[in-house]
Amino acid sequence: MSPAGRRGAASSTLALVALSCAGGGGAGAAAPAPVRVMPVRVLAALPHDPDAFTQGLAWVRGRLYESTGLYGRSTLRELDPATGRILRSVALAPGEFGEGLTEIGGRLVQLTWREERARLWTLPDLVPAGTLSYRGEGWGLASDGRELVQSDGSGVLVFRAADDLRPLRHLAVRRDGRAVPYLNELEWADGSLFANVWQSDEILRIDPRSGEVTGAWDASGLLEPSERARADVLNGIAWDPERRRFFLTGKLWPFLFVAELPEPPSVSP
Ligand SMILES: [Ca+2]
């Protein structure tokens, strides 16, 4: 489907959700309403390397960076946010499986899956700037500019110090009263955390203080069935604060989407 067709499909889904939710308010007085799942609104579909096993996506002052995984194929890349084109690609060592990626203190930090080693890179020239060690698996990584927050495949996020990755505190994520396992790629946007959930097509918004899920978006319609057959899961979120837009992609996805995550329509009591 063309980008225009995708956009049309997403908009009509939104209209249906708005319609179906219009009469849904006012049920129950005490229990908070379950998080309402909203559709992703696609603004554009750009080409994405279908061989990129995306594990991290990060926006840094007008530039878009991607971490890809798999042993022998892991890279750090810069992508053109206007065209999706790969501007630069640096290979990791064959024994390193690239994972979460974010910027803090003017450097990129790139996790590895089971190597317990984070690679540091200078910006904007992507020169290796050393490594830092941590314990456990590395999955997603994000930063609010002061500290790092990391996922490891569980439902508990760990906040880490930027200088040496020492654990600072943990955050158990809960949705409608239940734990949320398999938290994966992460992103900070507008004071909230956003996360992919492994083996799910949903993007969750998480309150970074309470761990409560405050929003959910369904990205299952972004790829056509024929495209999904070859692709793996959704696993890339980057936020451009200037233009207030998300970049979304996944492992082996043929597209990099520019998108919005619209709020649920307000319901009158
Ligand atoms: Ca990210």
Chain segment 37-76, per-residue pLDDT in tens: 999 999 999 999 999 999 999 999 999 999 999 999 999 9
Distance 184 CA to ligand 1 centre (A): 10
The CA angle 236-106-56, to the nearest 5 degrees, is: 10
In this structure, the chain runs to a length of 269
CA–centroid distance, 26 to ligand 1, in Å, is 36
| Segment among 94-103, 128-137, 164-173, 227-236 with least mean pLDDT | 227-236
**Domains observed in the chain:** 3-13+35-260 (2.120.10.30)
Instruction: Classify 52 as helix, strand or coil.
Output: coil
pLDDT of residue 4: 41
pLDDT in tens, 231-251: 999 999 999 999 999 999 999
pLDDT surpassing 50 at residue 201: yes
**In this structure, which amino acid lies at residue 131?**
T
- The single residue listed with the structure tokens 């207030």 is 244
Residue type, 88: R
The structure tokens listed for 84 are 């999706």
Q: Note residues around ion ligand 1 (Cβ under 5 angstroms).
A: 57, 187, 237
Q: Reduced to 3 states, what is the DSSP secondary structure of residue 55?
A: strand
> Is residue 8 predicted with pLDDT exceeding 90?
no
- pLDDT at 172 > cutoff 60: yes
Tokens for 50, please give them. Answer: 């279908």
247, exposed or middle or buried, with CB in 10 Å at 0-12, 13-18, 19+? buried
Give the Å distance between the CA of 267 and the centre of ligand 1.
Answer: 31
Cα 158 to ligand 1 centroid, rounded to whole Å? 15
* 53, 70, 152 from 197: Cα distances, Å: 16, 19, 11
What three-state secondary structure class fits 19?
helix
Q: How far is the CA of 141 from the centre of ligand 1 (A)?
A: 7
CA 23 to ligand 1 centroid distance, Å:
36
